[in-house]
A and B are shown apart, each in its own frame.
Chain A
């Protein structure tokens, strides 16, 4: 029997040729295949199950299996009765190993077309070769080294014995199969391909796992067309639905989309009309959308997006909407992103959907909701913690600043301290600053600097807070440290001169200018990763002291006592005197104690407009302008024109005090003002606008505002200095010189300093 007759070259999966088990189905095998018919002569199903179990165990471990390649060749003349080695056949029959018996009969029929299998292979037991039986038993159990040893032992003890060629072929193939699997597990892909190429008879539909491993080896060694051929071979030849499906699934991460489409084209339609790879198409669409969720440059075919959206709606699982959420987030469609994250979140409250939702909310400027959403998952991963910190920072940095519920503030504090998040600490600083809690602000800025020593915005916050606290030595120290590195810190004194009293900077202007700095980058596939590595946890002592301090401050100022609420809502509040101007100054001047009626936090919407107006002035007195602005807002609803005018005036002043000139202007226009007040407000607004524009480096605008102001009021020395520096920054040195000279003429040191600066610049230039 010539070997070449046995090999049927079918496809060139390998450099060589892969022989294929062709699909001949002898009638006999069909009978065995078609049902659970016991094989001829075998009458004990119970015994069969035992054997099958044993077989299965061996399969999952290291059972060898082979099929000799066979053609569907026409029978040569059957006249020559070949000598057929039936030992394996009889062994498997006696063992009740139906699958192997079947395979062996098929193999022998193909080898010897004239051969008829014995009617009862298990009954026919000619001279029993127990030693050979034992060898087959070792083979069936996958004990290959033991089998090798047994063969050699017999060769030594019976030198005339010849081991059956079939046995030797099988043990060699089985060893190669082991070697291939082990090499594949160890990612030794060249070895896998080498063994596969030289043992093509291993690569058949009866052992699809090996084909998968070889295909993977091709794919992993940049031979994707070979990999595609190998997967395609399985789809062309192997009938088992679950193996076909698994084949495409295995190809999914390894092949390109066009190659996968080529494989999918080999799809069969099942009897009930379903297409067998529909689930794969779903997975492909999911993968495309998921990939684009990590890489915004990727373009997703609309059909894929539609398919995934349909899946997300049809299948009540959290995963598909999650994929869509990340996709839309990455493609800056935050509303859609939120919608899908929300759907996922409704189906399962999980870290990833919560993170996504929070990011979408932050991107839509709703940090309070974001904080609320991610809070419970903040410790689930570094990414979740980063998102939480971003929510905190954004919440604190909102413009205009908002009231934050005390409970939320209190839970944010320890998180920031634990995460050592310098940015969030800085935002806490600004937030406290705006509440005029300068000591707390200084504490937060210092903390931020501990975590990020070279942080200019935090240093700037600290220097401003120290200035407010009258710590001039502390101011000087920071100015020294930042000398030459930060203009705004260095020139703080000059700016202070130029600034109307009571104005404080807003975080929008002095805090982190880059809005993106507050948003963590997202890595959606595995859940968002940290934008920056969250800092390590601090020793508990330091954390507690700071946390306690801030929490205590916040608690002191924001706990609402019921009895106060009562008194605030009481109807017998006296209406404010419309003529009242700057009551705080009067009271402070007269040494009176600050009124206690507004030290607690309450929602102005719950009190009458008149009470709110009173409360607004009260809050202005204790320098809590943000809350005052809210109270005046309520006061604007008053029925009295005078009260409405008063409220608008108060709100405008309040916004001016926190440095929100634009808002102040809007507020001033909310009700008619007495002319004197209108002028006063205009002057203040223009002053504020001038300093704002100057601080933002928009010197022409600053000059414009100063000119407008000069038309309605004489220019104060501090504003003249500002004007001088504005000229200087615009390189209008002569104008600057003239202005500084005028200021200096009044005896102002600032004027002299300005002159000196102009001179220095000129000396440098010429």
Chain B
């Protein structure tokens, strides 16, 4: 059974390679993009996390770039990129600093990176570089991809791991290190990365990530925790809540966007995060108890997507129209809708 699942996974990765490379601009609707950017992106191209003290981070800039590419809006892409390049792409190793705070001076006080932010930025640059024939963007993407692999991908116990950041999570930095965050595996980016960089085995990183997700599922609800120690067998990391939280809930979205439609992986996640489909649960893994139930359509659309992909169920009307709420769920919402529009319009 397990082998079979693995075989399916491999097949899915092969599929996703073609799919990702075909990812075309124009999958986010102009009106939705307009609504999103007028709410979360300022006139300087800064993507604002309005639930987090209006800070910005490399993840947000990466989402902004990706969504503007998907909206086929070159002007907004250049706007966000100009800000991202001058304010975030500062690190000696070629990666982005992770946090920009409007209320501190200088705005960047911590030079650490966040590998998901780097992946999103590099991925969006690579898409725009090839999709819009922009050599400058493609060149920067290549440099960044190389830097991500060099600084954040490590081999440990025969598998490739993605460190959440250069500093603070490795075996050297923590007693229970290395730590991983499985929602930092943005699967759709890896085939693209593999096409521009061969110093890191991105295909293997992707495959090992899927195995980790499977192995990480635990507790009554069979869900993975946001932050995991990969020192021995995967277990919730010390100092973090042992919960399936805001991070991990995007894992199935990233899988599906990458064309991974493995029921063996997706169905447990679907069941665990939203048994009845009316809310998305933040779950304390050890006890299986629900600490919070989320109702923002940006979250609710994720289990609905799984239903669509696995069972061809139509999306409930409550999640098919986009209205900006907060930065994070609204971002997930647009990523979900763009996936539906391009791959599963039958569920609309």
Contact = CB atoms under 8 A, between A and B. Distances in A.
Contacts of A153: 75
A573 interface: no
Given A145-B44, A146-B44, A182 B86 contact: yes
Contact of A149 (B75, B85, B91, B93): B75
Contacts of B82: 144-145, 147-149, 175
B75 A156 contact: yes
A546 interface: no
A537 interface: no
Contacts of B93: 190
B310 interface: no
A188 interface: yes
Interface in B23-48: 43-45
Given A179-B85, A186-B97, A187-B111, A149 B106 contact: no
Contacts of B106: 182, 185-186
B87 A182 contact: yes
B97 A178 contact: no
B79 interface: yes
Contacts of B85: 175, 179
Contacts of A148: 75, 78-79, 81-82
A182 B111 contact: no
B332 to A, nearest CB: 25
Contacts of A145: 43-45, 78-80, 82-83
Contacts of B86: 144, 175, 178-179, 182
A143 B76 CA distance: 14
B215 to A, nearest CB: 37
B181 to A, nearest CB: 24
B87 A189 contact: no
A11 interface: no
A191 B91 contact: yes
A660 to B, nearest CB: 61
A483 interface: no
Contacts of B231: none
Nearest to B72: A156
B90 interface: yes
A interface majority secondary structure: helix
Interface string B72-112: 00111111111101110111110001000000001010010
A189 B92 CA distance: 7
Interface string A184-218: 01111111000000000000000000000000000
A187 B78 CA distance: 27
Contacts of B81: 148
Contacts of A187: 111
B136 to A, nearest CB: 9
Interface string B215-233: 0000000000000000000
B111 A188 contact: yes
Interface in B42-85: 43-45, 74-83, 85
Interface string A128-151: 000000000000000111111111
Contacts of A175: 82, 85-86
Contacts of A147: 82
Interface size class of B (residues with CB under 8 A): 20 to 34
Contacts of A43: none
A148 to B, nearest CB: 4
B162 to A, nearest CB: 23
Contacts of A380: none
B90 A149 contact: no
A553 B85 CA distance: 74
Contacts of B74: 152, 155-156
A145 B80 CA distance: 7
A280 interface: no
Interface residues of A, number: 25
B62 to A, nearest CB: 16
A580 to B, nearest CB: 81
Contacts of A555: none
A191 B143 CA distance: 13
A519 B79 CA distance: 64
Given A185-B106, A186-B97, A186-B106, A179 B75 contact: no
A677 B292 CA distance: 98
A145 B93 CA distance: 24
A139 to B, nearest CB: 12
A183 interface: yes
Contacts of B83: 145
A154 to B, nearest CB: 9
Contacts of B87: 178, 182
A144 B87 CA distance: 12
A146 B78 CA distance: 9
- Interface-centre pick from B75, B83, B87 (highest chain A CB count, 10 A): B75
A156 B25 CA distance: 15
A153 B75 CA distance: 5
B277 to A, nearest CB: 40
- Interface-centre pick from A145, A148, A178, A186 (highest chain B CB count, 10 A): A145
A151 B83 CA distance: 15
A534 B86 CA distance: 47
B341 to A, nearest CB: 22
B43 A146 contact: yes
A345 B49 CA distance: 55
Nearest to A171: B82
A202 B97 CA distance: 24
Given A175-B86, A186-B97, A149 B111 contact: no
Given A145-B45, A175-B85, A183 B90 contact: yes
A350 to B, nearest CB: 31
B78 A191 contact: no
Contacts of B43: 145-146
Interface string A393-405: 0000000000000
Contact of A179 (B77, B79, B80, B89): B89
A217 B76 CA distance: 33
Contact of A191 (B79, B90, B108): B90
Nearest to B100: A182
Contacts of B97: 186
A569 B92 CA distance: 84
A175 B89 CA distance: 11
A183 B88 CA distance: 9
Nearest to B91: A188
Interface string A145-176: 11111111101100000000000000000010
Nearest to A174: B86
Contacts of A178: 86-87
Nearest to A182: B90
B90 A152 contact: no
B78 A149 contact: yes
B144 to A, nearest CB: 13
Contacts of A183: 90-92
B92 A188 contact: yes
A151 B81 CA distance: 13
A151 B78 contact: yes
B316 to A, nearest CB: 36
A574 B79 CA distance: 106
B9 to A, nearest CB: 39
Contact of B92 (A149, A156, A190): A190
Nearest to B75: A152
Interface in A540-582: none
B166 to A, nearest CB: 12
Nearest to B46: A145
Interface of A: 143-153, 155-156, 175, 178-179, 182-183, 185-191
18 contacts: A144-B86, A145-B79, A146-B43, A149-B45, A150-B75, A156-B74, A175-B82, A175-B85, A178-B86, A178-B87, A182-B90, A185-B108, A186-B106, A186-B108, A188-B90, A188-B91, A188-B92, A191-B92
9 closest A-B pairs by beta carbon, nearest first, are A190-B92, A145-B82, A152-B75, A178-B86, A149-B79, A145-B45, A148-B78, A183-B90, A148-B82
Given A149-B75, A151-B78, 4 more contacts: A149-B76, A153-B75, A185-B108, A189-B92
